[in-house]
Structure 1
Amino acid sequence: MAQLLSIVPDAPAAQSARPQATASGNVNATYALHLLGGSWLDEVTNFGSGDNGFAGMPNYQHDLLYIKVDHGSVKYRVHTVQSGWLPWVAKGDRNDTVNGCAGNAGEVIDGVQIIFLTPAGESYQQAYYRSQTTQRAGWLGVVCDDGTSLPQYTDTYAGIFGEPLDRLQIGISSVSPF
């Protein structure tokens, strides 16, 4: 008995190799703060309300920060009371305190700058972020990337110099999620 095979032609190579336009979707930002003189706190993805909606610990000081995204890339840096602005970091790895985190062990963070780099060919997105300090109640103003891209966001960093940052929230989006 003869077996019949169905032959379906393959798509032309040029058509199957053509890059598809990628719609930028949700970008997840995962981040954590390190307690001054202590250990890393649990990491947070994006933000929310309640105790799991931010990185940090209320009324405590922090000395290291790491941020990673699941799409695109991010660069960030911190300002410390002792040393001012530290170099930009583009990697997020809490086990690498030289190149994977922003901050210096033992130096209190009082400011943060974050810039999201949207992949080429995708809809533009930015890092929106805000913080609280140990010396004030409530969230400070929202910052958009480095404060130069949109006229309604003029702050260039989250925090207040001289006031230890105790909480941080980050969202990557085309509009403010806050």
Structure 2
Amino acid sequence: MIISLLKVVTAEDKTMHLNAEMELEEFRTKAGRFPIIEKEPVEFVIRHVKNRQVLISGKTKVVISIPCDRCLKEVPYEFLIEFEKDVNLNELNQSEAHDETAEEKNYIDGYNLDVDKLLYNEILIGWPMKILCCEDCKGICNVCGQNLNEGTCDCEDTSLDPRMSVIRDVFKNFKEV
């Protein structure tokens, strides 16, 4: 969804309150595609600060289905997004398009605010380092792929590190005694 900032920028001390729908249906990264299960409208407050400078704040909730890092079971992960952006439209519209400010504010094009790009950036910043379906997730068997949380498998555990063979032999010797 695109929101026009023209009404706010042209009037002194103008404040605009509005709700906007997020149009994204899935979150795409180089790591894959993650479906958006639930999304709430974004509550925006856009305020004119001074000469073509606006303060954009908002909040929303988005739930994305992300696979567990150990067992690959889909886990709904809730993002509570709150942001406050200070945008100077004078700096963005100058000829230096490759400036850091322009790259950080890729959700502004002229006087238009792209809600989906803004939320995409916020989700990307808040993306978790590790997702687990539960604290004691056992993962999957690396031989047959059985989810070890749902049951055991009859695979032989041959994946021991060869550097640990000496220690394994010591334990075997103590078992025989």
TM-score, length-normalised on structure 2? Answer: 0.26
Give the structure-1-normalised TM-score: 0.26
Q: Which has the bigger relative contact order, CA under 8 A and spacing at least 6?
A: 1
